[in-house]
Structure 1
């Protein structure tokens, strides 16, 4: 006879996993005003509870943190190559003045972008995104905007804190200016890439260099200090960054500022003067820890008389438009960015 009695071991395992999930992850209602793709992603990957995240980060040594970052980069590198193949984007490694870079070319370049170049600075909290792993957004920009992209594999903390990454970006920018007009190029990226873009513009201004025709700051790290409301409001809500007092605090206080210090406008761009900045396109989401940073950068640009667009997406955590790249929100975001580039690049 067939035994219809429930398997006690499997039942106990299922109950235990459910209880553990409730302990570790925050229970949030799924937002109504998002696509089915984004809702499904949010259902599968809810935010970790802030207390758990902070405890893990507090007792993790920098060496262990970097081991984890390197493992994530290895996984991301494979994902980037798969996405590039899916979206028909070729990637070629190169070096400019000793800085490792990648040229990304879509299968078809929009005739309106024939003479344009997008310089992408990758995210990853200034500690992740090394090598091929840093090309995730560069692939999306190349494919969605149909524009040539140069991705800068800048040096990162903790081995190379600020201003190492800024120096690499500056070296690449000065090289490009020898053969291209500044107005034909855009610069930007998400998270640390957005923060590094803003810091680089401050440095270019100080050096008297010509500035890009447009910049893009996707949910940028604007300040190494806890200055925005969203650090409190979205703690435990943002499924990517979770809390300012987790990995972000370790990066901002121990790893990235270096000899410049966290007060410096190259490191905390919001503390600088935004007069004469290039036109800027900014994006964030209602669940983003860095929503306030993004909003404050936008206001500083507008108060300085700079043309700047701000797009806030319902229900999105930090950089969700990149993570769920096959969602309508992601396609809409890069379409908005492309329209901004076409409007401002010469």
Structure 2
């Protein structure tokens, strides 16, 4: 699939073109469902995430910590300092791969640019971590952080399937009367288990990482995540929920990813509900390009996120 990288517009940076030429498709869902191949597939995926840390050119530290019964990773950089705001990171990985450590390259640049401390939640992965276990983990950490300092502002930062977990948690907090986050950063959101977005069809041939199979791949993934559940339930697929209650949202997506449709629909739903949502679409970019800090496009994206964090923390 890397051959698609050779057909890029002149606006795409040379580094990004080279990166596109070397991308490989994610392992199929079947390789994760098979107990014989699951461990190998997970290790390969996580190794790919970890390699992105080689592009980080500033000092950072990752520390395992606990808040009550909530396990998490604390992210510190040379400029991030304790204060009145923290970022709560919910990593993606198809509910199957990833971790706060492996996916650290996604959150560290924003922590550095915004000067805000960040925490990444540990949640159970499939097949053990079926719905709603990941949401429960986010819920425990968020409530522990709120209990520690009710006046502190918390900005959610989620990517890919982590966005479905994050928004489901926000809906739960609204129903329970728990204080809402100050804002939510949603990178390449995967928030529709029905796979209904048109870009699953129109962009499938130019996405170097996914084969959406006309949305069927998304439905299979969410059926694995939430077996027996209604995939159009807002707790499973937040795109079908109400968004007039939502905190300010910043949504990122690229023109070379099938997730663009979810990002567009999510933003539109927030707008039509009277919510505060900003959609940024990056020309020529692929799923989670923000993890590749050496790219000019990633630097601009993280500066945009840092500006959003600064705005909502005021």
Instruction: Report the TM-score when normalising by structure 1.
Output: 0.82
Kindly indicate whether residue 34 of structure 2 is the aligned counterpart of residue 66 of structure 1: no
Check the 8 A contact 2:91/2:100 in 1, yes or no: no
Check the 8 A contact 1:73/1:133 in 2, yes or no: no
Give the counterpart of 1:217 among 177, 186, 208.
186
Structure 2 vs 1, CA of residues 198 and 287 (structure 1 numbering), >3 Å: closer, same or farther? same
Check the 8 A contact 1:73/1:130 in 2, yes or no: no
Superposition map of 1:1-346 within 5 A: 26=4, 29-45=7-23, 61-64=33-36, 66-72=38-44, 75-76=47-48, 78-79=50-51, 82=54, 86-109=57-80, 114-130=83-99, 132-181=101-150, 184-244=153-213, 248-253=218-223, 255-258=224-227, 260-322=229-291, 324-346=292-314
Instruction: Report the TM-score when normalising by structure 2.
Output: 0.90
For 2:8 and 2:164, locate their aligned partners in 1 and report how far apart those are by CA, in whole Å: 29
Return 5+ residue gaps in structure 1 as ranges: 1-20
For 2:31 and 2:159, locate their aligned partners in 1 and report how far apart those are by CA, in whole Å: 28
User: Which moved further from structure 2: 60-69 or 329-338?
Assistant: 60-69
User: Which moved further from structure 2: 160-169 or 174-183?
Assistant: 174-183
Check the 8 A contact 2:6/2:21 in 1, yes or no: no
For 1:315 and 1:103, locate their aligned partners in 2 and report how far apart those are by CA, in whole Å: 32
Radius of gyration: which is bigger? 1
Cα deviations across residues 282-302 of structure 1 (Å, max 9, x unaligned)?
Answer: 010111101000000001111
For 1:80 and 1:99, locate their aligned partners in 2 and report how far apart those are by CA, in whole Å: 26
Structure 2 vs 1, CA of residues 117 and 312 (structure 1 numbering), >3 Å: closer, same or farther? same
For 1:123 and 1:206, locate their aligned partners in 2 and report how far apart those are by CA, in whole Å: 25
For 2:130 and 2:33, locate their aligned partners in 1 and report how far apart those are by CA, in whole Å: 17
For 1:277 and 1:73, locate their aligned partners in 2 and report how far apart those are by CA, in whole Å: 32
Secondary structure class of the residue paired with 2:205: coil
Structure 2 vs 1, CA of residues 57 and 209 (structure 1 numbering), >3 Å: closer, same or farther? closer
For 1:114 and 1:40, locate their aligned partners in 2 and report how far apart those are by CA, in whole Å: 39
Secondary structure class of the residue paired with 1:115: strand
For 1:104 and 1:57, locate their aligned partners in 2 and report how far apart those are by CA, in whole Å: 30
Check the 8 A contact 1:31/1:39 in 2, yes or no: no
For 1:27 and 1:286, locate their aligned partners in 2 and report how far apart those are by CA, in whole Å: 13
User: Which moved further from structure 2: 305-314 or 143-152?
Assistant: 143-152
Cα deviations across residues 239-294 of structure 1 (Å, max 9, x unaligned)?
Answer: 122324686444222x2114644222111001111122100000101111010000
Deviation at 1:96, TM superposition (A): 2.5
Structure 2 vs 1, CA of residues 70 and 327 (structure 1 numbering), >3 Å: closer, same or farther? same
The CA RMSD measured in Å over matched residues stands at: 2.6
Secondary structure class of the residue paired with 2:155: strand
Secondary structure class of the residue paired with 1:38: helix
Deviation at 1:153, TM superposition (A): 1.2
Structure 2 vs 1, CA of residues 99 and 313 (structure 1 numbering), >3 Å: closer, same or farther? same
Structure 2 vs 1, CA of residues 242 and 321 (structure 1 numbering), >3 Å: closer, same or farther? farther
Total equivalences in the alignment: 313
Check the 8 A contact 1:141/1:149 in 2, yes or no: no
